[in-house]
Amino acid sequence: MKSLLKWGGGLALVAVLVAVALTVQAIYFRPLSIRIFYEKLFIQRVLEDPELLTELGLLEQFGIHGHNARLTDASPEHTECAARRLTRELEQLHAYDRSSLTGQAALSYDVLDYYLQTEKAGLPFRYHDYPVNQMFGVQSQLPTMMTTSQPLRSVSDAEDYISRLHGFGRKFDQLLRSLELRERKGILPPRFVVEKVLAEMRNFIAMPPREHLLYNSFVERMGKTGADEAVFASLKEQVEAEIRDTVYPAYRRLIAYFMHLNSLPLENNGVWALPDGKAFYEWKVRENTTTEMSAEEIHLLGLSEVARIEAEMDRLLASQGYDQGSVGERMRRLSKEARFLYPDTDEGRRQVLQDYQRIIDEIDARLDDVFNLRPDSGVVVKRIPRFKEKTSAGAYYNAPPMDGSRPGTFYANLYDMSAVRKWGMRTLAYHEAIPGHHFQISIAHELKGLPTFRKILPFTAYVEGWALYAERLAKEIGMLEDPFDDLGRLQAEMFRAVRLVVDTGLHAKRWTREQAITYMRDKTGMPDTDIVAEVERYLVMPGQALAYKIGMLKILELREKARQALGPRFDIRDFHDVILGNGALPLPLLERQVEAYIARKSV
């Protein structure tokens, strides 16, 4: 039976489609045909991305696990196939009569249409990215997925794990062909990317296989399953062999290619330097903000927001006796005070994780007055894996799988303990966990009666705008009464405002990496390690940093619009229901939902 359910087997596909059809029939009413189209489109996409299926945990509820033995295709042919599929999907969607749809059915059509139209506009730029980079490249994301999302609950799971290790060779060969194609097109990564991923990959294969993360994670998790001792010993030998004979050689081939790149005359430029770079950045701005704002408009908005927040920080610093020097200088002095730091020890790191969890648990108990919707899934705090923490951001969040088999995870970077200031921890926890990313994403996953794509589409301005809004909401409900915690919130908002200036500066105004670092240092007072990581993040993720402030400002604008229109009938819990109860939306569609809510409440 197990062999029949392996990925690619006919029964696996039939089981998925039958289960989806039954789910659709049980949940949806009219019009049935377009609802089935939505699920068919979603299933077709995820079937081509077994790594995503693993991360989402989508097929576990159907007893299908074979996808956990395969890796997602990274070849140029797969990219071209996806481009052709996108064109077909849009044509198929437009064959339905939009005018016959109402309510959530109409909204689902509009969301999918917006998403596909945006993707189609980006097809000319489908190779304008850096698949291997210091932030989220294949070289780090693949082992992260293997050690965090890959199920290991049985011998069958262990065999899938070993199969995926064996797949590293083919995956990296596909990746190399994609990178070589980009090189021929003149799409080369900045110099710092090449240097940093070379160091990361060399470190990744520097130890004997039995000391490697991929081996130790396997042993630790499989050791809890109670597997037969002889079988477990054999499995461990196979994992060790795959790491030695497949994984390490794959990384050596990628290292050799990046040594070649390092010999080229690379610079640390924004995407303006790429072929059609100006048009590419204009598209990235639209994709990430879901607005029609120009780079110049966003740059000016950023300058205005920086000035406003700087004045607030100046007043608060002065009220605490810090009145000498620029805001950035005063924040740097504050960040070095021993009372706000943890010891650079294992115990200090354990304490940081415990304190983050306490902060999250405290606010989770205080949200009934502002939320009706609450997620069922919990959230835990972990350290960013050591092999990639040096080049990672200060924190990030991984959502729970849709089957609810594990909680969401807030990952904290503990590489440089001098960058962990106590007064910044609350705001970071609110952003990444509750009521920020974990809250919003888990609620979306748990929504009933919506097409699956509505639960997972990541419109960045909405998702990051909500998380930044969550930071401010925490202050509004009394969670930042300590003035230094509020300074942490303001500094966090300041660096999101600075992002508007720096991202557009790098990619539209041809700022240098060093110019961006200097500006960010002067305005935020953040540690240099954080600033460098941030600027280098913007260089490999053009436009993404614009989403935070653009999304937050729109949510605040809509909240004030509803408050003014409804007066005493305004209830923030109902407003949050509207914002969170539809999954992630492009900002124009979010505004339409709020306007409909105002109209309903005004009757």
Q: Where is average pLDDT lowest: 9-23, 222-236, 464-478, 487-501?
A: 9-23
What's residue 31's pLDDT?
44
Extract the runs of DSSP E, i.e. beta strands, from 492-603.
none
What's residue 61's pLDDT?
58
Residue 59 pLDDT > 80, yes or no? Answer: no
Q: Name the more confident of 103 and 389.
A: 103
Site of tokens 């945990």: 57
Residue 18 pLDDT > 50, yes or no? Answer: no
The SS3 of residue 10 is helix
Confidence of residue 27 (pLDDT cuts 50, 70, 90): very low
What's residue 47's pLDDT?
87
- Angle of helix 32-47 versus helix 10-27 axis, rounded to 10: 150
**Spatial contact of 28 and 35, defined as CB atoms under 8 Å apart:** yes
How many Cα atoms occupy the beta-carbon half-sphere of 367 within 13 Å?
20
What's residue 64's pLDDT?
66
**Structure confidence by residue, pLDDT tens digits, 152-199:** 999 999 999 999 999 999 999 999 999 999 999 999 999 999 999 999
What's residue 63's pLDDT?
61
Average pLDDT over residues 74-88: 96
What's residue 60's pLDDT?
65
**How many CB atoms neighbour CB 333 within 10 A?**
14
Cα distances (angstroms) measured from residue 504 to each of 193, 514, 572? 20, 15, 34
**How many CB atoms neighbour CB 275 within 10 A?**
13
**Spatial contact of 377 and 404, defined as CB atoms under 8 Å apart:** yes
- Angle of helix 547-566 versus helix 587-602 axis, rounded to 10: 10
**End-to-end C-alpha distance for the chain, whole angstroms:** 59
**How many CB atoms neighbour CB 69 within 10 A?**
21
Residue among 535, 536, 493 at smallest CA distance from 302: 493
Extract the runs of DSSP E, i.e. beta strands, from 6-114.
none
Residue among 556, 582, 598, 577 at smallest CA distance from 459: 582
User: CA 310, CA 495: separation in Å to the nearest integer?
Assistant: 10
Residue 438 pLDDT > 50, yes or no? Answer: yes
Cα distances (angstroms) measured from residue 25 to each of 15, 42, 220, 446, 522? 15, 16, 42, 18, 58
Phi, psi values for residue 397, rounded to 5°:
-125, 135
What's residue 221's pLDDT?
95
Mean pLDDT of the chain: 91
Site of tokens 């408050």: 563
Residue 500 pLDDT > 60, yes or no? Answer: yes
**Structure confidence by residue, pLDDT tens digits, 527-586:** 888 899 899 999 999 999 999 999 999 999 999 999 999 999 999 999 999 999 999 999
What's residue 390's pLDDT?
76
**Structure confidence by residue, pLDDT tens digits, 82-93:** 999 999 999 999
Residue among 286, 272, 309, 298 at smallest CA distance from 501: 298
What's residue 24's pLDDT?
47
Q: Rg of the chain's alpha carbons, rounded to an integer? A: 24
Q: Name the more confident of 29 and 331.
A: 331
The SS3 of residue 399 is coil
Q: Which sign does the torsion angle of CA 10, 13, 16, 20 carry?
A: negative
What's residue 312's pLDDT?
97
Residue 22 pLDDT > 60, yes or no? Answer: no
**Spatial contact of 107 and 582, defined as CB atoms under 8 Å apart:** yes
- Angle of helix 213-222 versus helix 138-148 axis, rounded to 10: 10
Burial class of residue 125 (count of CB atoms within 10 Å of its CB; 0-12, 13-18, 19+): buried
Encoded tokens for 355: 């304190």
User: ∠195-505-302 over CA atoms, to 5°?
Assistant: 125
What is the side-by-side strand order in the sheet with 408-412? Answer: 379-383, 408-412, 395-398
Cα distances (angstroms) measured from residue 321 to each of 318, 337, 338, 487, 491? 5, 14, 17, 13, 17
Residue 51 pLDDT > 70, yes or no? Answer: yes
> For a pLDDT cut of 90, what percent of the chain falls above it?
82
Burial class of residue 299 (count of CB atoms within 10 Å of its CB; 0-12, 13-18, 19+): buried
**How many CB atoms neighbour CB 493 within 10 A?**
22
What's residue 458's pLDDT?
86
Residue 204 pLDDT > 70, yes or no? Answer: yes
Encoded tokens for 255: 């290292």
Average pLDDT over residues 407-426: 93
What residue segments make up the domains of the chain, in order of their start?
A: 298-494+502-540
Confidence of residue 43 (pLDDT cuts 50, 70, 90): confident
Spell out the residues 6+ positions from residue 148 whose beta carbon is closer than 8 angstroms to its own: 398, 409
> How many secondary structure helices (H) and strands (E) does the chain include?
26, 3
Spell out the residues 6+ positions from residue 161 whose beta carbon is closer than 8 angstroms to its own: 68, 146, 150, 152, 218, 239
Average pLDDT over residues 94-123: 96
The SS3 of residue 63 is coil
Average pLDDT over residues 436-448: 94
What's residue 529's pLDDT?
83
**Structure confidence by residue, pLDDT tens digits, 261-297:** 999 999 999 999 999 999 999 999 999 999 999 999 9
| Length reported for the chain | 603
What's residue 58's pLDDT?
65
Cα-to-chain-centroid distance, residue 235: 33
What's residue 405's pLDDT?
79
Residue 591 pLDDT > 90, yes or no? Answer: yes
